Amino acid sequence: MKLNRMKVLRNVLLFLPLLLPLLGSTPRPHGDIKIPEISERINAFTMDFLKRVAADNAEKNTVLSPQSIFRGLAMSYVAAGGQTRRELAQVLHFPDDNDKLLKQLSELDRRFAVAAKHQKIDVSIANSVWLDEANAKFRKEYVATVEKTFAASLHSARSRESGQMTRKINDWISEKTRGRIKGSVSPEDFKSRSRPGVIDEPALVTVNTVYFKADWGSRFDKKSTSEKPFHVDAETTVDALSMHQRSLLPYSEDENFKFLEIPYIKGYYSMYILLPKQILTVNELVSAVDNQTIIGLKRTAFEREVDVLLPKFEFGNHRAISNVLSDMGVNSAFDSEEADFDRMIVKRIEAYRIYLSEVYHNAWIEVNEEGTEAAAATTGVHFSFGCSASVRPPRVDFHADHPFLFLIVDNKSRSVLFAGWIVNPAKAAGQPAQRQR
């Protein structure tokens, strides 16, 4: 039997928010809102994924965009069947019905588009599909779905000209992410795996990009930034440039965590920071948090005068995540003999099956006095194969001087866009996301 055609599924997400302290005269409870089902699905995957990544990256600063991974793999899921579909649905929390998934993602995109109308907020989502029709014949239904429902631009590609193909895809990604994500794919991603009697070739690349940029409502004063001690663990302390402000911000706490919400301009987006009351390892930190923890802290948060110390940081991660997804339960999708993405291609002797070769995730973030900028890319490579408001409570200190968890959230949908943790801000100074194999 023969066949192998590749699909690179790339999801790039660039995010640039800025800290916004809310101003007001009295504490104001932040009531709960009904969380859309699509956000519940994305957020459930977020926490599952964070816990699994933490097991292998406990000593490293980490930024991820599970939203990017969710959206990227959705472009494969809509063509999946059988065991492959069941595993993806279980791990990614996809609904069984494609139309439901696509409709919910479209509704979420519309929410983002409303915020993007603000002159100081730039949010855009773009998709593209790169087809190598020399290696596979694609089903019209699948192409129509990614073109119309995912609003993907279609591009012809020749994987045998891997250098040129790589440049075109990377240029497209760079353009859509305002130059923040570069070198997402390499010619190695399109290397033929064919051997005598077997055709195993790259055939399809899908790319999803999300770009976000927003100002903080009020910036940290650069004159207040200074070196402060940061406790990496109980024995290790480093000096870290820490920003400072004193503002009215949504704050709450429970027996384990202090919770601070720093809204971005106009309150469309926020950064949530979960600071453990004790110095914890990343595994301990992430293990102690689930969606209900975050929801509970958010529900009980109200505006208080908060003295904030937050380290500046800039760093990036690039990782292959097929092993993480496999550990979570996605197995058949990566198996050339078992994968079922049959709704992508028209079966023929030289291309009767398509499988997911690898998924790469690239993310970058910068937090400074003016704001936050972040970017992420997820690439999947497929080969074809045969409280009371009347009394103001006292000021509280929120000094992020030991490992903490952060999330960037769309406030209308409560959908998590970025998440990660800071272990050592001294090792997060101007580090771009590097390709690591």
pLDDT of residue 287: 94
148, burial (CB in 10 Å: exposed 0-12, middle 13-18, buried 19+): exposed
pLDDT of residue 25: 29
State the Cα–Cα distance between residues 112 and 118, nearest whole angstrom: 11
Q: Specify the DSSP element, H or E, that contains 364.
A: strand 354-367
3-class state of residue 278 by DSSP: coil
DSSP β-bridge partners for residue 273: 260, 406
State the Cα–Cα distance between residues 91 and 45, nearest whole angstrom: 7
DSSP letter at 195?
B
* pLDDT tens for the 437 residues of the chain, in order: 333 333 333 333 322 222 222 222 234 445 457 899 999 999 999 999 999 999 988 789 998 989 889 998 999 999 999 999 999 999 999 999 999 999 999 999 888 888 777 877 887 778 888 887 776 788 899 999 999 988 889 898 888 888 898 899 889 888 888 888 787 888 888 888 888 887 777 778 878 777 777 777 778 889 999 999 999 998 999 999 999 999 999 999 999 999 999 988 889 999 999 999 999 999 999 999 999 999 999 999 999 999 999 999 988 888 888 999 999 999 999 998 899 999 998 877 665 678 888 888 878 788 888 777 777 767 666 555 544 444 567 899 999 999 999 999 999 999 998 999 999 998 876 554 444 33
What are the CB-based long-range contacts (under 8 Å, 24+) for 86-92?
Answer: 87/329, 87/330, 87/331, 87/332, 87/333, 88/330, 88/333, 90/329, 91/45, 91/48, 91/325, 91/328, 91/329, 91/330, 92/41, 92/45, 92/330
Characterize the bridge pairing of strands 269-276 and 257-263.
antiparallel
Dihedral, 15, 359, 77, 45 alpha carbons, nearest 10: -60
pLDDT of residue 355: 82
State the Cα–Cα distance between residues 428 and 378, nearest whole angstrom: 21
15 in Cβ contact with 376 (< 8 Å): yes
Q: Which of 409, 321, 435 is nearest to 92 (CA)?
A: 321
DSSP letter at 223?
G
Angle at 150 between CA 167 and CA 106, to 5 degrees: 135
287 in Cβ contact with 294 (< 8 Å): no
Q: Which of 139, 141, 161, 87 is nearest to 332 (CA)?
A: 87
Q: Which of 287, 306, 291, 296 is nearest to 400 (CA)?
A: 306
Q: Tell how far CA 271 is from the center of its chain.
A: 14
3-class state of residue 171 by DSSP: helix
Angle at 199 between CA 194 and CA 202, to 5 degrees: 80
pTM of the model: 0.86
pLDDT of residue 429: 66
Q: Which domains does the chain have, with CATH numbers?
A: 7-21+55-215+314-384 (3.30.497.10), 222-311+391-425 (2.30.39.10)
- In order of 66, 68, 173, 288, 334, the CA distances from 14 in angstroms are 13, 10, 10, 28, 27
Side chain identity, residue 417: L
Query: pLDDT (tens digit, 9 = 90+) per residue, 73-103?
Result: 999 999 999 999 999 999 999 999 999 999 9
Query: pLDDT (tens digit, 9 = 90+) per residue, 193-246?
Result: 888 887 777 778 878 777 777 777 778 889 999 999 999 998 999 999 999 999
